Amino acid sequence: MSTFVDAAIHQGQRKQLVAFLEEKGICDPLVLKALLAVPRHWFMDPGLVSHAYKNKAYPIAAEQTISHPYTVAFQSELIGCQKGDKVLEIGTGSGYQTAVLQALGVQIYTIERQRELFKKTKRLFDQLRLRPKTFLLGDGYLGLPEEAPFDAILVTAGAATLPKALLSQLKIGGRLVIPIGNDPQVMHRFTRTGEKTFDKETFGEFRFVPLLKDKT
């Protein structure tokens, strides 16, 4: 299908984008390789394809956005995963971050709360033969207790407050990467150091659409 062509021009633009991300401080070679491998334009509306390799967020369905490539790279680096790790993603959106995580070789469980977006992205995953372990329509605020514990949890929407349920679904040593606050959000990483203990780090300001409760 022509929509899924990865033309030389796109590959070239992607190389430039990855060079830019490296200049901006992304240094994990596996993350850079994953961003180089995944055609972002496949996850965007056809009318926006020519913008796919700019470091910008763009509208997708249901008034949501595909994250900036820098944000995707930054969060992918922060979760610090190894091949085979079990990762929960909250806020599938366009599926671009999911595809980057798959390219990193992790086992991905992903949740989206907007039905329209869920259906659209599910169809896209089928067309691309991209197979997350689980892709659910639901409220990621609650995490996915039946599949816990996870090596990492990545939240791709801005949470007003920290959803406590997510902390309890981390393995010891597991990481929760989540933007917290009201426009802008501060990127946080919580590392579970024991049954009831967590380390907290912060990594500057980002802008995300809100993480919302109880709606599908």
* Binding of residue 211 to ligand SAH (CB under 6 A): yes
Q: Pick the piece of the chain touching ligand SAH (CB under 6 A) from 3-11, 31-39, 59-67, 184-192.
A: 59-67
Q: Judge whether 67 counts as a catalytic residue.
A: yes
When binding is defined by CB under 6 A, the residue of 97, 102, 169, 191 that contacts ligand SAH is 97
Of 193 and 216, the one with the shorter C-beta distance to ligand SAH is: 216
Minimum separation from the CB atom of position 138 to ligand SAH (A): 7
**Interaction with ligand SAH in 100-159: which residues (CB under 6 A)?**
111-114, 117, 139-141, 156-157
Beta strands in 139-181 (DSSP E): 150-155, 170-180
Tell me whether residue 95 or residue 174 sits nearer to ligand SAH (CB atom). Answer: 95
- Of 110, 69, 80, 73, residue with least CA distance to 93: 110
- CA 151/CA 28 separation, integer angstroms: 18
198 vs 201: CA distance, rounded Å: 10
The type of residue at 174 is: G
Distance CA 24, CA 61 (A): 29
Size of the site for ligand SAH (CB under 6 A): 25
Q: Which C-beta is closer to ligand SAH: that of 3 or that of 193?
A: 3
Residue in 174, 175, 167, 172 with CA at minimum distance from that of residue 194: 172
Give catalytic residues, as residue numbers: 67
